[in-house]
């Protein structure tokens, strides 16, 4: 079993025959996750890579194997294991011990242990925790991947003080900027990433992209359909549409995670239908419970919290503009985290997918939320997204239409509001095309 998962043990060049790496290399549509260059590879460390299923975590690990081999690492010091066929922590521990004995015979003192879908074996953490406590992994680098279900269940919290320099990494679906990188590398290189998100920087860098705004808008329209998950992107670019098979693949992992967490699929569907049908509106848990026939507002809260931990939804709270603090008792805005999820889940819940202008707001909010705390503000007027940049607040209004006028605003710590349009551009007050803005947003 170990040898079949690690063909490079026989000869490093056999990584080329690994099924996952081979599929990636042969694919007409492929990309290298930026996370590959961000992971700290110094031992001792226990890293967790979270992410939804089918987002590319396995491919990331195989690309990491290739990177290590290219750097001259002993091929037998790289141990990869798929854990989705293992029953429990005992079986996991037995396989780990077999590899540890193998490397001892090979004279290897330090290894890279890459365990994929670690959440499948029951009580998996017991096998790892014991061996860390015994000092067996003191010279090793451990990288585990899994869905957010292990975070939702609190399994990662069983390793206090046992992770060395380990970090948590999240592998998100491709952002619009990442999508642009594979769709049009030349245009991607023209889009310079933001560093501070100040109105001056936003205006300067989006202005440089105005000659390509029609092309950018075409790509953004595509992105609103296929989102950033690998399979829908391949479907769209190779077949011109997202297939039923792809939709069912993603719905299966959502249902699987709900089952693993012992949550009601029926209630989850009602909550997700509520998110779609109330897209862009300010809601309360009490009103959602009443309108969508959920037992109580506490149940709505519990499922919304779960959907956030599974990276399926993002809840925006009202921001006090004077203090920059979230006000939890006020209404909320809720977005799904990727445009494709609206396609798949609306299909599952038998409801209509939101309009493009509603999806555009969701994309902006969830993209920004990958890097900064975000919320919203409303008094007589509404600011769709409020970004907390530590020392100041930046307001973002999304008006996905051609003719747009910006507005000057100074609301507490929110000194500026940037309006995002479909094609309009103005310096004062600041208005910029949404596609150009997202093309420069590296998240």
154 and 297 both lie in a single domain: no
CATH no. for residue 37? 3.40.50.300
Single out the residue in 152, 170, 188 at which a domain terminates.
170
Of 139, 170, 201, the one marking the end of a domain is 170
- Amino acid 82: pLDDT: 92
Domain end marker among 170, 198, 220: 170
Are residue 266 and residue 141 in the same domain, yes or no? no
**What integer pLDDT is reported at residue 53 of this predicted model?**
75
pLDDT mean over 185-211: 95
> Judging by beta carbons within 10 Å of its beta carbon (0-12, 13-18, 19+), is residue 415 exposed, middle or buried?
middle
Identify whether residues 342 and 385 lie together within a single domain. Answer: yes
Residues 312 and 393 grouped into a single domain: yes
Q: Which stretches of 117-228 are assigned E, i.e. beta strand?
A: 141-146, 168-170
Does position 358 have pLDDT exceeding 90, yes or no?
Answer: yes
Examine the domain organization and report whether 185 and 328 are in the same domain: yes
Domain check: are 165 and 180 in the same one? Answer: no
Range of the domain at 110: 2-170
- What is the predicted pLDDT for the residue at 120? 85
Q: What is the per-residue pLDDT across 46-92, written as a single tens digit (0 to 9) for each?
A: 999 988 777 889 999 999 999 999 999 999 999 999 998 899 999 99
Q: Are residues 249 and 312 in the same domain?
A: yes
pLDDT value at position 390? 79
Query: What's the confidence (pLDDT) of residue 149?
Result: 64
End-to-end CA distance of the chain: 38
Instruction: Give yes or no: residues 197 and 146 share one domain.
Output: no
Q: Could you tell me if 298 and 403 lie in one domain?
A: yes
pLDDT at 152: 60
Beta bridge partners of 420: 398, 432
Residues 148 and 202 in one domain: no
What mean pLDDT comes out for the span 86-100? Answer: 94
The answer for residues whose C-beta is within 8 angstroms of residue 52's C-beta and 6 or more apart is 147, 148, 173, 229, 253, 310, 311, 312
The DSSP letter of residue 379 is: S
pLDDT at 226 over 90: yes
* 305 and 229 fall within a common domain: yes
- Mean residue pLDDT of the chain comes to 92
Taking only the tens place, the pLDDT of each residue in 118-170 is 988 889 999 999 999 999 999 999 999 987 666 666 677 778 888 999 999 98
Tell me, yes or no, whether 247 and 356 share the same domain.
yes
Specify the 3-state DSSP secondary structure of 205. helix
Number of domains in the chain: 2
Percent of the chain with pLDDT over 70: 98
Strands 382-388 and 141-146: unpaired
27/222: higher pLDDT: 222
């Amino acid at each position: 079993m170990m040898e079949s998962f690690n063909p490079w043990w026989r000869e490093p060049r056999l990584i080329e025959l690994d099924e996952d790496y081979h599929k990636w290399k042969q694919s007409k549509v492929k990309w290298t996750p930026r996370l590959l260059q961000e992971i700290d590879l110094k031992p001792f460390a226990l890293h967790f890579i979270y992410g939804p299923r089918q987002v590319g975590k396995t491919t990331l690990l195989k690309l990491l194997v290739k990177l290590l081999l290219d750097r001259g690492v002993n091929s037998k010091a790289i141990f990869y294991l798929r854990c989705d066929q293992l029953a429990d922590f005992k079986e996991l521990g037995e396989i780990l011990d077999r590899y540890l004995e193998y490397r001892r015979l090979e004279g290897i003192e330090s290894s890279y242990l890459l365990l994929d879908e670690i959440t499948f074996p029951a009580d998996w953490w017991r096998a790892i925790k014991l061996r860390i406590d015994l000092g067996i992994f003191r010279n090793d680098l451990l990288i585990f991947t899994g869905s957010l279900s292990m975070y939702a269940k609190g399994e990662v919290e069983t390793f206090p003080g046992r992770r060395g320099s380990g970090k948590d990494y999240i592998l998100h679906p491709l952002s619009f900027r990442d999508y642009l990188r594979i769709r049009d590398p030349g245009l991607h290189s023209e889009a310079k990433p933001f560093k501070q998100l100040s109105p001056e920087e936003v205006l300067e860098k989006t202005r440089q992209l105005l000659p390509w705004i029609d092309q950018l808008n075409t790509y953004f329209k595509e992105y609103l359909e296929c989102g950033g998950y690998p399979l829908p992107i391949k479907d769209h670019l190779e077949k011109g549409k997202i297939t039923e098979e792809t939709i069912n693949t993603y719905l299966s992992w959502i249902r699987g995670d709900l089952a693993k967490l012992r949550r009601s699929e029926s209630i989850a569907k009602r909550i997700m239908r509520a998110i779609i049908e109330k897209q862009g509106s300010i809601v309360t848990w009490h009103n959602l419970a009443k309108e969508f026939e959920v037992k109580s507002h506490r149940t709505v809260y519990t499922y919304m919290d779960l959907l956030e931990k599974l990276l399926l939804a993002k809840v925006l709270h009202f921001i006090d503009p004077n203090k920059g603090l979230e006000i939890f008792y006020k209404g909320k805005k809720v977005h799904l985290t990727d445009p494709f999820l609206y396609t798949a889940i609306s299909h599952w819940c038998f409801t209509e997918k939101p309009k493009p202008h509603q999806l555009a707001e969701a994309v902006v909010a969830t993209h920004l939320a990958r890097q900064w705390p975000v919320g919203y503000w409303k008094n007589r007027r509404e600011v769709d997204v409020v970004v907390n940049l530590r020392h100041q607040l930046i307001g973002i209004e999304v008006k996905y239409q051609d003719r747009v006028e910006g507005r000057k605003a100074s609301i507490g710590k929110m000194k500026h509001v940037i309006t995002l349009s479909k094609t309009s551009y103005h310096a004062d007050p600041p208005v910029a095309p949404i596609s150009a803005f997202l093309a420069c947003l590296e998240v």
